[in-house]
Amino acid sequence: MHKLKLFLILVFLFLFLFCFSGCSPEHVETDLLLPVDFSNVPENMVLTAFHTDKIEIKIQAAPKLMVLINKENIRYPVDLYTDLEFDPAGASDSIEPGAYLIPVEKKGSYRFDIHSWMQIGANNFNRDDMLFIATDGEKGTTPAKTSIQFPWAGQSVMRSDWESDSWYLFFDAGPTGVNHQNEDKLHIGVSAFGRLFLTDGGISSYVPDKWRRYFTSTQAHNTIIIDGHGQKRMSQKKTHRANVPHKNRWISNERIDFASGIYSDGYGPDLIRVTHSRYVLFKKNEYWLVIDEITGDGEHSFENLFHLTPSEVQIDKEENSVQTLYDDDKNIKLVSSSTVKMNLDIIKGEENPEQGWISLKHDGRIASPTAVYKGSGNLPILIATILQPFTDKNASDIKIELNKPYSSQANLIVHTNKGDDHWIINLQNENNILVNEIEVDGAISFKRENDDKTIENFIVKFKD
């Protein structure tokens, strides 16, 4: 009996010491210093002397897994998607406003501060526009462009100006990328008055758990999910890189900016064959108009997602609108209309399934309101959404009326305090629209009326 007790005690001590020294299921944290692999850099790109050959990555994992990771010959492949070779304006044009943080809150712990990086760029490449950003406009020169499209990256930036309170929209219609992949094609982010209003989920951590899966999923971005499923690009290598510049349409002038993009790589594990086309129009300093066209066969459901930064919100389900309620009266209003019946819900801090979360920094997340516009019907389906930042103490009274579309164009009216804006927009990326039953050589027609008088009108064309 004594021998049996001694044996059990020894077994207990052995298991305790063994588990305590390395078998604990608790994750440990360490830094990996990985060599950088430049094999993805095109041959015609020049690698400057100013670059890094190693990158530090913080990871969390079980101790045994950490041992295996350290034995692997892991390299970090460069993910190169810039148009610096093709457009000398370069990366500075995509910097968000408001003291030029990413995103824009100076005291909000949002992601990281780029001042030092812009200063390095200004010093090494003699860039006065980067110096302007590094010094918050105190030195250097204002970047030459306010709005720009990067054809290789497939990304578009629409901004009002380079003031700290400028209006800014980022539209991603490009490839998945090689690293830091997200199922986020056609995502948009919006800021105004030095405040970020619409954002993606961010990065919670690199631990491969449910939160990592959520923050990289379509559900954590401002785009559409179909039949409850998100995009499925990561497993399709053809979507990772662009072999030629994207053919996304782009218009930019003193009155409007316009960009388009398309997602057609399938939804969910079965790659549901539904195509989502998004068209974004900026009526400068007044509002953004986002048109979503869902095409394919049969009946499908959709959820159009808009992730707001932490704030109280007010919704009106009759007009399908939601607006933020910041105390300083700097807010945004969203109003949406569709060719099928659509309902609006606000989801915040849900865990099953995950929705209504954003991450302000690594290893953290906070509940934040997400506006979800839900509907279903036989395809095609058209959705039009107005995004209007406003500073008045009284709520914005903007409304949208989506008329029956023709086969290749959207017809809608935006009711504003300046008048009724009549828009006709070609959805086939062609210069052919029907205005008052007359064919017109143009892509976008605009007319503003007030008291039956035309205040402003114009027609713009796509460049060949």
Domain membership flag for residue 413: no
Please indicate, yes or no, whether residues 58 and 156 belong to a single structural domain of this protein.
no
* Same domain? 61 vs 117: no
Residue 66 and residue 99 in one domain: no
> Do 203 and 65 share a structural domain?
no
pLDDT band at 442 (very low <50, low <70, confident <90, very high): very high
In a domain, 409, yes or no: no
pLDDT above 90 coverage of the chain, percent: 50
Confidence tier at 220 by pLDDT (50, 70, 90) = very high
Task: Answer yes or no: is 146 within a domain.
Answer: yes
- Global model pTM greater than 0.75: yes
71 and 100, same domain (yes or no): no
In a domain, 463, yes or no: no
Do residues 272 and 186 share a domain? yes
Do the Cβ atoms of 303 and 294 come closer than 8 Å?
Answer: no
Q: What is the structure's pLDDT at 404?
A: 77
> Whole-angstrom Cα distance, residue 141 to residue 430?
37
Assess whether 23 and 124 both reside in one domain: no
| C-beta of residue 201 within 8 angstroms of C-beta of residue 166 | no
**Has residue 455 been placed in a domain?**
no
The DSSP letter of residue 120 is H
Instruction: Give residue-wise pLDDT tens across range 246-293.
Output: 888 999 999 999 999 999 999 999 999 999 999 999 999 999 999 999
Domain contains 84: no
- Based on the fold, state whether residues 168 and 306 are members of the same structural domain: yes
**For 447-456, how does the pLDDT look when each residue is reduced to its tens digit (9 = 90+)?**
999 988 999 9
Residue 272 lies in a domain: yes
pLDDT (tens digit, 9 = 90+) per residue, 176-190?
776 677 889 999 999
- pLDDT tens for residues 298-333? 999 999 999 999 999 999 999 999 999 999 989 999
Q: Is the same domain home to 226 and 343?
A: yes
Per-residue pLDDT of 5-38, as tens digits, reads: 334 433 443 443 344 444 545 666 666 677 777 6
The pLDDT of 63-90, averaged and rounded, is: 55
Give the side-chain half-sphere CA count within 13 A for 97.
Answer: 24
How many domains would you assign to the chain?
2
Q: Where in the sequence is the domain holding 321, given as residue range(s)? A: 90-402
CB-CB contact of 343 with 317 (8 Å) = yes
